[in-house]
Amino acid sequence: MIEKIYQARFDAATVAAKKRLWEVLVEDFLQAYVPPGAAVVDVGGGYCEFINAVRCRKKYVVDLNPDVARYAAPEVEILLSDAGDISGLPDDAVDVVFASNFFEHLPDKPALFEVLEELHRVLKRGGKLLIIQPNIKYAYREYWDFIDHHIPLTENSLGEALIGSGFTVERCIPRFLPYSVNSSPSKSDKLLRLYLRLPLAWRVFGKQTFMVGVKR
C-alpha cells in the first residue's frame, strides 16, 4: 500500500528534482556535520538522496522497503530493517545518524522513543544525530495532507524526546527548510543555494526544523 502511495506522490520528475536539491543541501549545509572519516547511517533513507551525496568513509541506509536497492549507490550498504531494531549494526558503530522526514511516519510516541534509543545505541559516544523534521507549529495546514503522517512534533517536543533518549541538543533551528520541494525557495538548485545563505529567509519560508543531538 505504502509503495503505491509513494509512487503516486513522487513521479520521476519529482524524484529527479529532489536529487538535485539534496546534492545542494548536502554540499552547502549538511556536509559540515559529517567528517570525511565518519561512518554514517541514513535512517528511512528511501530514495537515498542524502546518503548518496554525502562524503564519508562508510555509508549505510536503513529502510524496510526493498525498493531502496534501486536508488542506493554501489558504496552504500543496505540494511533492510526496522529503525527500532537495527540488528545489522553493533553498539557504538557509527559517527553520524541522519533522519529526514521520518519520525512523523512512526505510529506513535512509544515507537519514536524506541527508534531514538536504538539510534543512541548504534552511535559512538559524542556521535551526532542530524534531524530534518516537519514542524507542526509552522506546517499545521499541510501536515495532515499525507495519510502516512501520524506524530505531530515541534522543535520543543522533539528536543524533549532527544533528551529523554540520552542525547544533548547541540543545535536547533526551529524554522529551517520549506515544507516541500514545491515551495518557492526549493523549486531550483540555484534558489535553494541562495536560500541556505540567507537565514533571515528561513524565518519566512521555514516549516521544517533542523536539530542536532549528541550522544552523551
What is the per-residue pLDDT for 180?
81
For the chain of 216 residues, list the mean pLDDT of each consecutive stretch of 10.
Answer: 55 77 97 98 96 98 94 97 96 98 97 98 98 97 93 98 98 95 71 96 97 97
The pTM of the full predicted model, rounded to 2 decimals, is 0.92
Tell which residue, 126, 134, 210, has the closest CA to residue 171.
210
What is the per-residue pLDDT for 17?
81
Say how far apart CA 73 and CA 62 lie, in whole Å.
14
Strands 94-100 and 39-43, sheet pairing: parallel
Say how far apart CA 12 and CA 154 lie, in whole Å.
31
In the chain, the domains with their CATH numbers are 2-215 (3.40.50.150)
